């Protein structure tokens, strides 16, 4: 009974953006809480990152899944955006939102922009941390430390060095604020895309979406600022 290619249909595209979007929310949430380990000291942080790299094969599986989620999310997001330009080639002279119950906002209108900036950031971020000094294919004795007699990568050192730079610190902070903007619309939108919204839950879900977005952003921003201002 299903159409030729259900996942390419208008609804399928939303299911894919929604599932991958929520998956990425779970990922960034875990990533954010992991980062906070640095607040309790370099050793705790290095232990945590060492635990991740010691997962070996499982880590590759998780990473491959993440790459797939990002790619599907980005491709569908771009397609929805291209489709909307085709669907209204001539715009209005005057256009404004009719207001509540509309959820149209700077956040909902800028998903493609915040999303693309996040994508560029992601590449820079992975290059400078994961593949930075001491990382895979970039062995560097200056970024090795020992925990309980075992040699592990001193990622804490790299994090502290990078966030000593104002450019890196405030650039990172800015992009994390954009992530909050992306999630302000993204979280409730994903639930709506998956058909999980009920009118009786609407105000609650809007609130939860915004709160979770802000929590994730705040968690990410706390660390670089704390390092930059020598608080930890």
193 part of the interface to ligand HEM, by CB under 6 A: yes
212 part of the interface to ligand HEM, by CB under 6 A: no
Burial call 88-103: b when 16+ CB within 10 Å, e when fewer:
eeeeeeeeeeeeeeee
Q: Provide the minimum distance between the beta carbon of 120 and other proteins in the complex, in angstroms, as a whole number.
A: 21
Q: Which of 151, 153, 169, 167 is nearest to 223 (CA)?
A: 169
- Judged by beta carbon, residue 4 or residue 149, the one nearer other proteins is 4
87 part of the interface to other proteins, by CB under 8 A: yes
Report the C-alpha gap between 232 and 191 in whole angstroms. Answer: 38
Enclosing H/E stretch for 154: none
- Window 74-113: residues binding ligand HEM (CB under 6 A): 74, 77-78, 80-81, 111-112
Q: Taking a C-beta distance cutoff of 8 angstroms, is the pair 169, 223 a contact?
A: no
Q: Provide the minimum distance between the beta carbon of 194 and ligand HEM in the complex, in angstroms, as a whole number.
A: 7
**Contact region with other proteins (CB under 8 A), list: 33-41, 95-103, 149-157, 217-225:** 95-103
Q: Provide the minimum distance between the beta carbon of 142 and ligand HEM in the complex, in angstroms, as a whole number.
A: 31
147 part of the interface to ligand HEM, by CB under 6 A: no
Look up residue 210 and give its two tokens.
């915004």
Q: Which of 67, 40, 222 is nearest to 130 (CA)?
A: 67
Task: Choose from ligand HEM, other proteins, none: what does 22 bind? Cβ within 5-8 Å by kind.
Answer: ligand HEM
DSSP code for 82:
H
Look up residue 213 and give its two tokens.
């977005």
177 part of the interface to ligand HEM, by CB under 6 A: no
> Using CB under 8 A as the criterion, which residues of the chain lie in contact with other proteins when the complex forms?
1-4, 6, 9-15, 79-80, 83-84, 86-104, 108-109, 111, 185, 188-189, 192-199
């Amino acid at each position: 009974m299903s159409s030729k290619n259900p996942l390419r249909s208008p609804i399928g595209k939303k299911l894919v953006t929604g599932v991958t979007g929520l998956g990425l929310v779970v990922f960034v949430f875990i990533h954010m809480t992991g980062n906070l380990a640095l607040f309790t000291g370099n050793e705790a942080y290095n232990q945590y990152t060492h635990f991740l790299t010691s997962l070996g094969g499982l880590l590759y599986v998780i990473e491959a899944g993440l790459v797939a989620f990002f790619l599907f999310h980005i491709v569908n997001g771009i397609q929805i955006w291209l489709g909307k330009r085709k669907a209204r080639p001539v715009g209005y002279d005057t256009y404004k939102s009719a207001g509540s119950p509309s959820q149209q906002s700077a956040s909902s209108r800028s998903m493609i922009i915040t999303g693309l900036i996040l994508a560029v950031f992601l590449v820079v971020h992975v290059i400078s941390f994961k593949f930075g000094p001491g990382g895979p294919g970039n062995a560097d004795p200056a970024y090795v430390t020992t925990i309980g007699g075992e040699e592990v990568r001193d990622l804490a050192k790299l994090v502290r060095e990078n966030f000593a730079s104002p450019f890196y610190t405030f650039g990172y902070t800015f992009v994390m604020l954009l992530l909050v903007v992306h999630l302000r619309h993204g979280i409730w939108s994903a639930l709506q895309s998956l058909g999980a919204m009920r009118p009786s839950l609407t105000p609650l879900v809007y609130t939860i979406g915004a709160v979770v977005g802000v929590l994730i952003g705040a968690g990410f921003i706390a660390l670089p600022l704390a390092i930059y201002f020598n608080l930890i």
